Amino acid sequence: MRIAPTTNPDLSAALAAAINNKTKPLGSLGALERLASRLGLIQDTVAPTIRQPAILVFASDHGVVAEGVSAYPQDVTWQMVENFLAQGAAINVFARQNGIDLHVVDAGVNHDFGARPGLVDRKVAHGTRNFALEPAMTQAQCATALEHGAALAADLPGNVVGFGEMGIGNTTAAAALMHKLTGIPVAECVGAGTGLSPEGVLRKQRVIEAATERHAGVDDPLAVLATFGGFEIAMMAGAMLKAAALRKVLLIDGFIVTSALLVAARIEPAILDYCVFAHCSDEAGHHRMLDALGAEPLLHLNLRLGEGTGAALALPLLHAAASFLNEMATFASASVSEKSA
């Protein structure tokens, strides 16, 4: 799908003038000023709004957990989905606090939930295959996941979409995607995930190194996604691409969510114009991935929970950026003297 760049010199100048004419020293609202300008460019206006923000949390399982890459058993994926549905997880708390519509999506959990209130069933399969031995998914499965994600994003009524995930083993998939798409050494991509020991992190590194050697000829972004990704990562990438095509603000969470964006950006580089990066997580490779994308995260809170929690916590800053641009007095309207030199 075609994503139009937000480049608009006239609008950029108008936004800069509007921001600089507020009753404050130039640049004194720092990152909020850059955020306000980005919101305006995305929405093609000098008066951006935050309307009906939503977070999509995609859940799926990963065959690579058979290689001992997680500190937790695979059953935790479906158990945490149950926790989401019971309104008991951190993302439920933060979404309620900040007025966010939360949508929990079964993209490929190795569990049968049945029809459940609050659960969006888009299960592609009961988890991916073990990419240490074979591609994680078929090209057809990958395409289906992308399509499901796009359809879900298209159905959201608001203009801000945050992304979250749940899936035991998905930091391994994200690290493999990061390595393949950026060329950053595997040792700089892997981290503790759910709490691996140093020996466990080394094992994860070796599993990824062996897998990427096995699949050394794979380099097209979609083929890389199908080979190493997860259904939740593919579905997020599809949702991101569609949301950006619809000129929605993309609120990007942590390491796994950013790996989905990395894939999407290799497909449509202009998607980065629509992204607001919520935070830099405590997962070892995240800051390197953000650097590779030229991203400026809003928060540094040492988070590494996932679920979209960082995105939910950052949303008030989007409200603040839009509000000061729309509501703050100008020097002229407040009869305040401007800087003389």
Q: What is the pLDDT of residue 339?
A: 67
Catalytic amino acids?
Answer: 307
Provide the Cα torsion 278, 292, 145, 169; round to 10°.
-80
pLDDT at 200: 86
Residue 207 backbone phi and psi in degrees, to 5:
-65, -45
Surface-to-core class of residue 223, CB atoms within 10 Å of its CB (0-12 exposed, 13-18 middle, 19+ buried): middle
What residues contact 232, with CB distance under 8 A and at least 6 apart? 58, 59, 60, 105, 107, 108, 165, 166, 167, 170, 256
Residues 145-195: tens digit of each pLDDT: 999 999 999 999 999 999 999 999 999 999 999 999 999 999 999 988 778
> Could you give the CA distance from residue 297 to residue 187 in angstroms, rounded to a whole number?
23
CA neighbours within 13 Å on the CB side: how many for 128?
Answer: 39
* Domain edges within the chain: 54-318
User: pTM for the complete prediction?
Assistant: 0.96
Spatial contact of 308 and 105, defined as CB atoms under 8 Å apart: no
The highest-level CATH class for domain 54-318 is alpha beta
Maximal CA-CA distance, the chain: 70
Q: For residue 340, what pLDDT is reported? A: 61
Q: How far, CA to CA in Å, does 222 sit from each of 124, 136, 217, 228? A: 17, 12, 13, 10
Each residue's pLDDT tens digit, 103-157: 999 999 999 999 999 999 999 999 999 999 999 999 999 999 999 999 999 999 9
DSSP secondary structure of 44-69 = TSSS----S-EEEEEEE--GGGGGS-
Q: How many CB atoms lie under 10 A from the CB of residue 269?
A: 11
Please list, residue by residue across 105-135, b when 16 or more beta carbons sit within 10 angstroms of its beta carbon and e when fewer do. bbbbbbbeeeeeeebbebbbbebbbbbbeeb
Confidence at residue 341, expressed as pLDDT on a 0 to 100 scale? 56
Which portions of the chain are predicted below pLDDT 50?
none
